[in-house]
Amino acid sequence: MFLVLWLTRIGWSAAMAGLAVSVYGLGGLFASIAGGWLADRFGRRRTIALSMFSSAAVLLALPHARGTGLVLILAGLAGLTSELYRPAANGLLSDLIPAGRRVPGFAIYRLAVNLGHAVGPAIGGFVAEHSFVWVFTADAVTSIAAGIVALTMLPEGRRSTREEEPVGGFRGALVTDRSFLVFLVATTLVTLIAFQSTASFPLQVRASGLTSAHYGLLMSLNGVLVVLFELPLVGITRRLRPRPVMAVGIGLTGIGFALVAWADTFAFFALTVFVWTAGEIVFTPVAAAYVGDVAPEVLRGRYYGAWLLTHSLGVVLGPGLGTALYAVSPGGLWTACAGLGLVGALLVLASPRPRPGKAPCGGAVAG
């Protein structure tokens, strides 16, 4: 989250800082592929622990690095190690929670994550005003603690063997699943928008005369809103058809970032955060449950890896493209966010229905 601010503080240009975030996302891209395979074959619990311990080592080294090549290598490794756990974590939740209850299950999971986000960025923003080294060190310490918890307290979850897989394996299942492929394209578009929050959004905040501490508070507001409103809203969205719900979420994300073009005060920036967070709250729990419901059980980790790959593509492409466009035309960037949100929403609505025989998402009809 603070990678762009740290790099610009040590003298990197906005475009180069955006490149570093994209390299981080490239590491996350490989993490989605490897993490999905490890989740299915190596086990959910051990994959999560591996991710936590290895990311701690990289985070301890990163703030001491100098030189463009070394920083970019460590940024890529940070993305690989810190994102490796995601397919396993999502797969473990779907293993443990039966179909029909997964939307609230993922909302509760996100509540736990965002309780940390509600506090962490605000503290990190104030700490970053004095030392970015301590920001990265604290992140490493919490990763080590999470790895210990994973090894000692989490259940193992589902594991699969090659003999259990359908003919053609994961690749064969994926290429014939047209509905899921369209869903992946749509979610790639929404992540292109959402990850402006780590690249162009902080640059717009700073250009308006605000500080790193203000940016930290805005990102904490995102976490607070998720904590306060996601579970109550899930009580409604779990009863609705998932595709229209996801389309609304994508549209709200685009609108929220489009409003950044007019933001010039902390209060206005907070309003934009409120709108794009509403999109996140509507979209993400339903989408996470949708993947678990449509995935073949023996390929569940890799289906989640494919979905999380769209997250990584957003990190790889979004910051670099966003900061480059921002350098030319800030207004053009935020208008493009609105356009991508519209296209993503329409794709979800127009996608084919999931293949027959799949479990319904969150208690609603999977359509």
Q: Is the pLDDT score of 362 beyond 60?
A: no
Highest mean pLDDT among 98-107, 141-150, 212-221: 141-150
Distance of CA 99 to the CA centre of its chain: 23
Alpha-carbon distance values, 42 to 49, 205, 249, 255 (Å) = 11, 43, 34, 41
What distance in Å separates the CA atoms of residue 283 and residue 194, rounded to the nearest whole number? 12
pLDDT for 366: 53
Average pLDDT across the chain, whole number:
87
Q: What is the pLDDT of residue 290?
A: 93
pLDDT tens by residue, 255-269: 999 999 999 999 999
Confidence of residue 355 (pLDDT cuts 50, 70, 90): low
Contact 86, 310 (CB under 8 A): no
Distances (CA, A) of 245 to 102, 127, 259: 15, 38, 22
Predicted confidence (pLDDT) per residue in 198-254, tens digit: 889 999 999 999 988 899 899 888 878 888 899 999 989 988 989 999 999 999 999
Quote the CA–CA distance of 56 and 218 in Å, as a whole number. Answer: 26
Domains of the chain: 3-158+171-350 (1.20.1250.20)
Q: Which tokens is 168 given? A: 């053609």
Query: Where on the phi/psi map is residue 258: left (φ > 0), alpha (ψ -120 to 50), or beta?
Result: alpha
| pLDDT > 80? residue 121 | no
Cβ proximity of 300 and 158 under 8 Å: yes
d(CA 282, CA 252): 9
User: pLDDT band for position 363 (50/70/90)?
Assistant: very low
pTM: 0.82
Are the beta carbons of 27 and 316 closer than 8 angstroms? no
